[in-house]
Amino acid sequence: MNSKKLGVLGGGQLGRMLVEAASRLNISVTILDNPVDSPAKQIQSTSTHIHGDFKDPLKIQELAQNVDVLTIEIEHVEVEILEKLFSEKSVEIHPHPFTIRIIQDKFLQKTHLSQNEIPVVDFMNITDRESLNIAVEKFGYPIMLKSKILAYDGRGNYVINSDDEITNALKTLGNFKIPLYVERWTPFVKELAVMVIRSVDGVIKSYPVVETVHKENICHLVIAPAQVDGVILSRAKEIAEKSIQTLKGAGIFGVEMFLMKNGHVYVNEIAPRPHNSGHYTIEACETSQYENHIRSILNMPLGSTSLKVPAAAMINVLGKSENIQETLGPCVEALTTPGATIHLYGKKECRKGRKMGHITIVADSISQLYKRINPILNIDDENSISTTSSKNIQPLVGIIMGSDSDLPTMKACAEVLKSFDVPFELSIVSAHRTPMRMVEYAKTAHVRGLKVIIAGVPVKGKILDGVDSLYSIVQMPRGVPVATVAINNSTNAGLLAVRHLGAFIPSYLQKVQEFTERQESEVLAKVDKLDQVGWENY
Amino acid sequence: MNSKKLGVLGGGQLGRMLVEAASRLNISVTILDNPVDSPAKQIQSTSTHIHGDFKDPLKIQELAQNVDVLTIEIEHVEVEILEKLFSEKSVEIHPHPFTIRIIQDKFLQKTHLSQNEIPVVDFMNITDRESLNIAVEKFGYPIMLKSKILAYDGRGNYVINSDDEITNALKTLGNFKIPLYVERWTPFVKELAVMVIRSVDGVIKSYPVVETVHKENICHLVIAPAQVDGVILSRAKEIAEKSIQTLKGAGIFGVEMFLMKNGHVYVNEIAPRPHNSGHYTIEACETSQYENHIRSILNMPLGSTSLKVPAAAMINVLGKSENIQETLGPCVEALTTPGATIHLYGKKECRKGRKMGHITIVADSISQLYKRINPILNIDDENSISTTSSKNIQPLVGIIMGSDSDLPTMKACAEVLKSFDVPFELSIVSAHRTPMRMVEYAKTAHVRGLKVIIAGVPVKGKILDGVDSLYSIVQMPRGVPVATVAINNSTNAGLLAVRHLGAFIPSYLQKVQEFTERQESEVLAKVDKLDQVGWENY
């Protein structure tokens, strides 16, 4: 299918998962990295792996001579030698060295994005303490001081809260020995991320928008799809794809974004390689980020980026200490969690904060996902449940009423949904009084993830007992199907919605079955009582 | 999590996929097989792999000394040495040598199953031509002549159709140099298979029932879940689990079965190891057969065996000739098929009929699955579409009527479902005239895969215009939710069913959106016409 040989700068976990995907396609991968048994080298036996620094120009040249396509698993490489190899056309390189150069320097990256009209938070170059003072005057406190280069997983960042902290901040980030810049403080409500894949021909496809939760600046948890409104999802997807259009070269890119309270989305930073926020794609998408990276840089057709499961999460397994057993607590819990898959990276030494592995969890719904991941998260942090509470869940059912006067009738429906643990929303949407809102609601319902809309039930009026209302609902024209339950019976509307969900979500099917059995027992208990006490005394 | 070392007899594709699962759990695997670069050895770099025959007692002993747990990827091994090692308790062995011995000999296997009241087809031992004649007299032609040992992928089988063929059949199977037996000819309607996993403690879990399609005695195609009635699914699952209960030792087992026209299910044979019919579990189930095999034999908790996608298929990539490019035709097609994942086994030599790889395809529904797999199957065989036609698809929607007099009304509904390519069934189920049938129908609907039941629509009668019927439907008691569309409007009932499916099955959502847009254009065209010709001439 493809006989090109692939070389990778770096042999950590990203390289390892690239190798795993490559092996399935029988594609030969040569790794350049120092350890003889680095994670990526462990899972493809070949005598051709190169043992040396992935920043060493000579070693990179040696690798280039032995492969057809070069790629990276880390962007902090010596870009000069890549530019030289690129200009000599002796090897294909993805991503393009131009892209690596831009992304390596966070200030250059922000400038590039900003010039291409991609929304980013306000930022400013600083060259000395005086220009930092000017920035503080402009942006106010707190202010984010950042290294332009070699910054990742929170390294090279410092939040300055007051004048008193400036000296220490500058000292911590090397007193301008490494170039610095500042960013306006960004009080985001959520962090979002999108993996974007681009082919050699420039065709772009993106994976679902996910939300990421960081702990001490390291990615801790990823939820797919992100539990935000569909309009936000579209916005984030569009911005992510547009960002990658401004860069050169094929491959996979991770775009990290901030979601602000007002719905604005800013690009925080881009990774020109497989990314932690895309690990979930191995189990949850039709083609993983790793396989798609390989496909794109070898000029093979791109695979589907669709989710194949309703919901997925990724939890990083971070070193708690040098004790690997302590670190593996979440994995032990995951072994008894349905839908969980453990990935350990084969790292020989465990250190505090080191990425030792990750766990992917899939589920039939976001509700089930949270139930599955909370015990795993709680191993490390008793409070983590707060990040995954039900308030974060997008509704599956929408109850809408033409007027708040219907609320007394619809409350029973809401109670049913609540008792079945169905995430739902309840609002007023009137075809007559808020027609624009109704059109918007109907048009975006499927994008927002609604599976059932309960647009009221026929309500008993003073005249005709609600028969007019009943008739008006069933009598929608041919082609516009709407069904109704009985007048005032919003309980049954709720139960019917749960049954719809249960047809496709096994955890709700089970609840429907339990409800039906309970209901049957209750009636049978009445039968018994009637037999025992007789009808006169019942 | 687990520091036990695992040794595998055999290093082919099954060993390779075991190694892939083991690597993710950082479990060390040592392979015993002749080629230095056998498929399994390629993907775990270690100097400890043993290069030698997996039937060589000395090599097996060497492997046993270096690992904690021994397992097999092929059952045709020297069981004596395993029994010896087992009795010495120097190494754990799974499956139990007792199990391997029974399964190696197909006659012994059938005898064992039969003695344990597992349904198998009639069979009979033969020791010479005379006893073969007695068998023919008993079972009639055609009769299946089989080698007791070393038989797999159709090798060691011969169908005898008449007296004339006996001499050649016996010659082909070695004239009793290898022991033989016969089986009654079994005109099955489908072949089913179930992967069953058993823990060290004897806990049993099974994967979904799948259907397998063989071509020239080699597994060609697997469809999950099997498109047969839910009652058959339960029967096959029960028989498969019961079969494994009769055997000893932990691990994964493949149970192959015949489904007869009368609904009877016979066990054909059992594989005491990961099996071709379980490859699909890598992409389609919450935990793969490979990981579960490792978990079970290392005494770790068993993983979930549930499907995580609605539908999946597995297509074997069999060598067409010595030309690997020709063989890879289906893979090239799969690269452009959404939901397809290619697994190539890294075999250096391609030969006709050799298993070079497989392709797994996942889909949001069985209908979408067939659309996705047919182009891949057709690369090799223009006629294969017949095996995957819509007649094989279990219904998603059930239309039931109280009487055939409702058929004229319900036909529109059936037409809608047909036009949206929804698999459905239409039948008579009367609460009054066939109450038992109705109870059975309602109780088994979810097991049979029905997502929506359209239990008629209110039909316009001579008196009251069907209002009585409309009232009777909505007026189901609280707790038993049923909704209705308008009197006689079975078109809308069909459209509503498609919308229900579309809420969870993206391919139907797309069709609903296309329908809605088409409907809107049709009305807008009428607007144009009305504008152009005026109301007088419209």
Listing DSSP states for A302-328 in one string gives: PPP--BSSSEEEEEEEE--SS-HHHHT
B301 to A335: CB separation less than 8 angstroms, yes or no: yes
- Residue B385: the pLDDT is 47
User: Does residue A240 sit in the same domain as residue A337?
Assistant: yes
User: Does residue B44 sit in the same domain as residue B25?
Assistant: yes
CB contact at 8 A, A344 and B24: yes
Q: How far is A273 from chain B (nearest CA, A)?
A: 21
Q: What is the mean pLDDT of residues A303-309?
A: 97
User: Does residue B308 sit in the same domain as residue B455?
Assistant: no
Q: How far is B108 from chain A (nearest CA, A)?
A: 37
Strand pairing report for B210-215 and B452-454: unpaired
Listing DSSP states for A176-214 in one string gives: TSS-EEEEE----SEEEEEEEEE-TT--EEEPPPEEEEE
The total number of residues written for chain A in this structure: 538
For chains A and B, CB pairs below 8 A equal 194
User: Does residue B136 sit in the same domain as residue B217?
Assistant: no
Tell me which chain A residues have a C-beta less than 8 angstroms from the C-beta of B290: none
Question: Tens of pLDDT along A394-438?
Answer: 999 999 999 999 999 999 999 999 999 999 999 999 989 999 999
Boundary of a domain, candidates B351, B382, B413: B382
The answer to whether position A138 is within a domain reads yes
Interface test with B, best of A485, A491, A517 (most B CBs within 10 A): A485
Question: Tens of pLDDT along A19-60?
Answer: 999 999 999 999 999 999 999 999 998 889 999 999 999 999
Q: What is the CATH number of the domain that holds B157?
A: 3.30.1490.20
**Closest chain A residue to the Cα of B482, Cα to Cα:** A485
Question: Tens of pLDDT along A242-293?
Answer: 999 999 999 999 999 999 999 999 999 999 999 999 999 999 999 999 999 9
- Residue B175: the pLDDT is 87
User: Does residue A296 sit in the same domain as residue A221?
Assistant: yes
- Residue A386: the pLDDT is 47
DSSP state of A285: B
Q: What is the mean pLDDT of residues A125-140?
A: 95
Q: How far is B23 from chain A (nearest CA, A)?
A: 7
Tell me which chain A residues have a C-beta less than 8 angstroms from the C-beta of B45: 37, 41-46
| Peptide bond just before A95 cis, omega within 30 deg | yes
pTM: 0.94
Interface test with A, best of B26, B38, B359, B518 (most A CBs within 10 A): B26
Is B149 in the A-facing interface, judged by CB distances under 8 Å?
no
Q: Is the pLDDT of residue A384 over 70?
A: no
Domain count within chain B: 4
The answer to whether position B107 is within a domain reads no
User: Does residue B177 sit in the same domain as residue B195?
Assistant: no
The answer to whether position A526 is within a domain reads no
Single out the residue of A477, A478, A444, A472 nearest to residue A459, CA to CA.
A472
**Closest chain B residue to the Cα of A397, Cα to Cα:** B503
Q: How far is B342 from chain A (nearest CA, A)?
A: 7
Element spanning B355, H or E: strand B355-363
Q: Cα-flanking dihedrals φ and ψ of residue A150, to 5°?
A: 55, 35
Which B residues in the span 250-279 are in contact with A, Cβ-Cβ below 8 Å? none
CA distances from A154 to A363, B117, B353 (A): 31, 64, 54
The answer to whether position A388 is within a domain reads no
Is B23 in the A-facing interface, judged by CB distances under 8 Å?
yes
* Residue B391 pLDDT grade (very low, low, confident, very high; cuts 50, 70, 90): low
A335 to B495: CB separation less than 8 angstroms, yes or no: no
B43 to A41: CB separation less than 8 angstroms, yes or no: no
Tell me which chain A residues have a C-beta less than 8 angstroms from the C-beta of B205: none
CA distances from B285 to A21, B132, B224, B377, B478 (A): 18, 45, 10, 23, 38
Distance, CA of A302 to CA of A304 (rounded, Å): 7
**Closest chain B residue to the Cα of A445, Cα to Cα:** B503
Tell me which chain A residues have a C-beta less than 8 angstroms from the C-beta of B344: 1, 24-26
Q: Cα-flanking dihedrals φ and ψ of residue A365, to 5°?
A: -165, 165
- Using CB atoms, pick whichever of A331, A493, A503 lies closest to residue B1: A331
Question: Tens of pLDDT along A142-159?
Answer: 999 999 987 776 678 899
A25 to B344: CB separation less than 8 angstroms, yes or no: yes
Boundary of a domain, candidates B184, B208, B235: B184
Is A43 in the B-facing interface, judged by CB distances under 8 Å?
yes
Tell me which chain B residues have a C-beta less than 8 angstroms from the C-beta of A519: 479
Boundary of a domain, candidates A184, A200, A232: A184
User: Does residue A374 sit in the same domain as residue A252?
Assistant: yes
The answer to whether position B522 is within a domain reads no
Which B residues in the span 443-472 are in contact with A, Cβ-Cβ below 8 Å? 446, 451-452, 470
Interface test with B, best of A308, A460, A490 (most B CBs within 10 A): A308
- The answer to which of A231-245, B208-222, B296-310, B322-336 has the lowest mean pLDDT is B208-222
* Residue B425 pLDDT grade (very low, low, confident, very high; cuts 50, 70, 90): very high
A341 to B287: CB separation less than 8 angstroms, yes or no: yes
Q: What is the rounded average pLDDT for all residues in chain A?
A: 93
Tell me which chain B residues have a C-beta less than 8 angstroms from the C-beta of A506: 306
Question: Tens of pLDDT along B20-60?
Answer: 999 999 999 999 999 999 999 999 988 899 999 999 999 99
* Residue B392 pLDDT grade (very low, low, confident, very high; cuts 50, 70, 90): confident
Q: Which residues contact B295 (CB under 8 A, 6 or more apart)?
A: A335, B287, B301, B302, B303
User: Does residue B219 sit in the same domain as residue B344?
Assistant: yes
- Using CB atoms, pick whichever of A41, A331, A451 lies closest to residue B45: A41
CB contact at 8 A, B104 and B72: no
Percent above pLDDT 90 for chain B: 86
- Residue B503: the pLDDT is 95
**Closest chain B residue to the Cα of A520, Cα to Cα:** B479
Listing DSSP states for A346-370 in one string gives: --S---TT-EEEEEEEEESSHHHHH
- Residue A385: the pLDDT is 47
User: Does residue B250 sit in the same domain as residue B342?
Assistant: yes
Q: Is the pLDDT of residue A392 over 90?
A: no
* Residue B381 pLDDT grade (very low, low, confident, very high; cuts 50, 70, 90): low
- Residue B211: the pLDDT is 96
Distance, CA of A239 to CA of A194 (rounded, Å): 10
Query: Could you list the residue range(s) of the whole structural domain that residue B376 is in?
Result: 189-382
Interface test with A, best of B304, B364, B485 (most A CBs within 10 A): B485
Q: Which residues contact B194 (CB under 8 A, 6 or more apart)?
A: B206, B207, B208, B209, B210, B236, B237, B240, B241, B254, B255, B257
The answer to whether position B109 is within a domain reads no
Structure tokens at A527: 């039968």
- Residue B384: the pLDDT is 52
- Residue A390: the pLDDT is 52
Q: What is the rounded average pLDDT for all residues in chain B?
A: 93
B1 to A26: CB separation less than 8 angstroms, yes or no: no
User: Does residue A408 sit in the same domain as residue A355?
Assistant: no
Q: What is the CATH number of the domain that holds B453?
A: 3.40.50.1970
**Closest chain B residue to the Cα of A29, Cα to Cα:** B43
- Residue A393: the pLDDT is 85
- Using CB atoms, pick whichever of A287, A357, A495 lies closest to residue B479: A495
Q: How far is B239 from chain A (nearest CA, A)?
A: 24
Q: How far is A20 from chain B (nearest CA, A)?
A: 8
Question: Tens of pLDDT along A450-473?
Answer: 999 999 999 998 889 999 999 999
Q: What is the CATH number of the domain that holds A58?
A: 3.40.50.20
Which A residues in the span 54-93 are in contact with B, Cβ-Cβ below 8 Å? none
Tell me which chain A residues have a C-beta less than 8 angstroms from the C-beta of B484: 474, 483-484
The answer to whether position B229 is within a domain reads yes
Q: What is the mean pLDDT of residues B353-371?
A: 94
Q: What is the mean pLDDT of residues B227-239?
A: 93
A492 to B503: CB separation less than 8 angstroms, yes or no: no
* Residue A215 pLDDT grade (very low, low, confident, very high; cuts 50, 70, 90): confident
- Residue B386: the pLDDT is 47
User: Does residue A315 sit in the same domain as residue A332?
Assistant: yes
Q: What is the mean pLDDT of residues A286-315?
A: 97
Helix (H, G, I), strand (E, B) or coil at A379: helix
User: Does residue B208 sit in the same domain as residue B231?
Assistant: yes
Q: How far is A363 from chain B (nearest CA, A)?
A: 8
B492 to A481: CB separation less than 8 angstroms, yes or no: yes
Q: What is the CATH number of the domain that holds B364?
A: 3.30.470.20
CA distances from B425 to A49, B222, B396, B405, B488 (A): 59, 24, 8, 17, 20
The answer to whether position B478 is within a domain reads yes
Q: Is the pLDDT of residue A388 over 70?
A: no
- Using CB atoms, pick whichever of A1, A484, A495 lies closest to residue B331: A1
Tell me which chain B residues have a C-beta less than 8 angstroms from the C-beta of A451: 503-504
Is A3 in the B-facing interface, judged by CB distances under 8 Å?
no
- Residue A378: the pLDDT is 85
